[in-house]
A and B are shown apart, each in its own frame.
Chain A
Amino acid sequence: MDSLRIPSPTDREVGLRRLRDLTLSVAVAGTAGAIAFGAIAAFSNPGQPRNATSATGGTLDGLQGAVGAAATPLSGDDGTTLEDGGGQAAVGQAPAFQAPAFQAPQQLPFGFSGGGHAASGGSAVR
């Protein structure tokens, strides 16, 4: 593994040139790689977008806004403020997550019948 051969000045010059070329190549490859990985990341997980959409097509932006608004105390008509419980009310009112009830057709094939359930979902994870 270890050799006693000492590099000559010419070897050293060649080696340094090789080191410079290798470093430059890695720098270029790294930059290209970062762009490529960014692009792969953008296309590889379309089911996990930054502003995730719910099953009903609504975005989480509305939900975030509603939660943010709930952080400020709600004030009543009599001037009192409502500290607790405000968050729940605000989240419940988020328009983006009001999933319209899915109405299953009354008559299904093979004689089945029945109502559907409201579709909702989606997550904000990145």
Chain B
Amino acid sequence: MNDTVLWYATRGAGIVSLLLFTAVVVLGILQTLRWQTASWPRFLTAGLHRNLALLSVAFLAVHIVTAVVDPYTALGPLAALVPFSSPYRRLWLGLGVVAFDLLLALVLTSLVRVRLGHRAWRAVHWLAYAAWPVALLHGAGTGSDTGALWMRLLDATCVVLVVGATTMRLTFERQALDRPPAAPAWVGSTGRARANGRED
């Protein structure tokens, strides 16, 4: 295969990976917010979050494989797994490898979530908040299209979406903390009113 075609494939798959990764992060945050509407049940968010995560890994695999086999960069398979091991654009490529390793950990632990236990899975899942900006930095640092206006717009859209969703999560969490605890279901109407700080 022509190495220029490999280069274009690397770039195309990389951009789609970033977009999918962004969608996965936003859906994950919506899931934690328990967001749903009449036409969009909560399990749809959860299912789409999972499916898009697997899809983003597939596109990421194309991105990495085409970069590794590209004779121009001569990365080698080790450079795709071990961060900062490649002499070619060491820092920016290293950040991409860090993001990939984190994503791999997220996906693998999610696949064995039942065996792993919720607490451990959740701890690993927090890595998503680290993996996404690292992936964005990788693209901004080494992407051949970073300077192009359309790529800047895509990057900006991704940032706005993730920052917006994260802000929403933080806001709702704060509101939930400020709210008095809900009374258990077994508490009678008088008890519930008392628990809510009202006396009827």
Interface residue ranges, A against B (CB under 8 Å):
1-3, 5, 7, 11-12, 15-16, 18-19, 22-23, 26-27, 30, 33-42, 44-45, 48, 50, 126
Please state if A50 and B72 are interface contacts (CB–CB under 8 Å): yes
B interface residues (Cβ-Cβ under 8 A, vs A): 3-4, 7-9, 11-13, 15-16, 19-20, 23, 33-36, 38, 41, 43-44, 47-48, 51-52, 55, 59, 62, 72, 144-145, 147-148, 150, 172
A3-B36, A34-B9, A37-B16 given as contacts; is B145 within 8 A of A44 (CB)?
yes
Q: Measured between C-beta atoms, what is the minimum distance from B153 to chain A in Å?
A: 12
* Interchain CA distance A95-B172 in the complex, whole Å: 66
User: 5 closest pairs, A vs B, by CB?
Assistant: A38-B12, A38-B8, A34-B12, A37-B12, A23-B51
Q: Name the contact of B12 in the complex, choosing from A1, A11, A33, A45 (C-beta under 8 A).
A: A33
Residues of chain A within 8 A of B48, CB atoms compared: 19, 22-23
Could you list 17 A-B pairs, sorted by A, with CB under 8 Å? A1-B34, A1-B172, A15-B44, A22-B51, A26-B20, A26-B55, A34-B9, A35-B12, A37-B15, A39-B8, A40-B145, A40-B150, A41-B11, A44-B145, A45-B145, A45-B147, A126-B144
